[in-house]
Structures are given as C-alpha cells and as structure tokens.
Amino acid sequence: MKHVYTGKTKDVYELDNGNYLLKFKDDVTGENGVFDPGANTVGLVMEGAGRAGLRLTKFFFEKLKALNIPTHYIDADIENAAMTVAPATVFGKGLEVICRYRAVGSFLRRYGLYAQEGQSLDAFVEVTLKDDERQDPPISKSALEMLGILSAEEYATLEQLTKQISQLVKDELSKKGIELYDIKLEFGRMNKSQEVVLIDEISGGNMRAYKDGVYIEPLELEKLMLAAE
C-alpha cells in the first residue's frame, strides 16, 4: 500500500490491485476552533469524527448504489476508518460542487446585499475551484468549459447528479426531522470509462444540517441519523 496524498480530513493510499484506500481522520475544517464545512483549513480535531464521517458516507453511498447513481465507492471498514474506492480523476486540480437550500455561509457573505440569512433557495448549484490560496473561487459553466476543466455535457451531468444526490440526502435527513441547508460534493471521471461519478464522502463534515432551527455538529448528526440503523 503506497501513500499518495495527504488531505485535510483524509489520507489516500494506492492499493496493489489498482484501487485506492481513503483513510478518514478526526481533523475537521474550520477556523479558530469552530467547525465550518466551507473552510479551507483544519480548524479542530473531533475525536471519533473520522469513523462517524465514514459511517454516514457508507450509509449514503450504499443508498446511491441501490439507485444506480454512479460513485467510486467499493466498500468500507468502519473499525479502521477506511474506505476502498475505484480509481477516478478529479476535474482540473479539483472542484467542489455546492447545492444550497438556504442562504447561509459563503453564499450569504457574497450576496448579503440581496439575500436574507436563512432564506429558501431552490437547490441552487454552484461550482468552486479547490484553490486554498485564492479562497476557492466560484467558477461559471462557461469558464469551466473555456479553460478545459470539463465539457458542457459533463457540466450538465454534474449538475443533474448534484441535485439528485442532494435531494436523496435531504429526504433521508427529513425522515429524522432534520433540515439540510447546504451540502458540498466532489466529482471526478472514472479512469477506465470516463463516466462522471461522485467521489470523496457524504458526511456531517461537508454539509450544514439543522434541527428545530439549531445547527447539528457532525458527530451528533451521525448519531441522530444512524441511531436506528
């Protein structure tokens, strides 16, 4: 097993059979000790966050698999906080795709002249570049195509999958009386087929979820969602 990448919340290893192992860590993004799924830095360590994130990821990825929604997921080892995935290549140097149901976070900071905090948004999809130095700038469909990061057809697929996946997550949270405000997803191309697929994770660390108007921390979200699973 060869170590190939150290990320903020996961380390990546290449397996002998060509697949990859994602090792989930207890580090979470944020600033000044406060969790923020949209932050570019590791802000704090939450003991158990790695396994909790993987448990939710396994839950959601297996729901997607049952619906034939394409992902790179193969299986998960909760005890070792590790997930095996098929090889896929990110778009450019990496994109983040956000689906927003309410105006919070960076959306509100950018558009506060027009948006009110918490106002409803109609599954608004936006794409940002993974670029810590430039604070993950938003990028338009036209710019993505013009810069050769992805094609117009791939963008259409990415947007459709984002809405489909986000709606599934939203519906599952709703069953527990939890409201999804926004979620951040990542996509790539499968190395063999070039199919656009969901990669990375779906966990409390990359979404904002609220119950009775109160924000739910990632560890608590995992407990609420999987209590009866």
pLDDT on residue 227: 83
Find the mean pLDDT for residues 152-173: 98
DSSP assignment string, 171-210: HHHHTTT-EEEEEEEEEEEETTT--EEEES--SGGGEEEE
Q: What are the E-state strand segments in 55-178?
A: 73-77, 82-85, 88-90, 95-102, 120-129, 138-139
Q: The whole model's pTM is what? A: 0.91
Residue in 93, 73, 68, 95 with CA at minimum distance from that of residue 84: 73
Residue in 7, 84, 28, 33 with CA at minimum distance from that of residue 219: 28
pLDDT on residue 139: 98
Per-residue pLDDT tens over the stretch 42-66: 666 777 889 999 999 999 999 999 9
Per-residue pLDDT tens over the stretch 30-47: 666 666 666 666 666 777
pLDDT on residue 48: 83
Find the mean pLDDT for residues 112-120: 97
Pairing mode, strands 42-45 and 27-31: antiparallel
Find the mean pLDDT for residues 65-71: 97
pLDDT on residue 169: 98
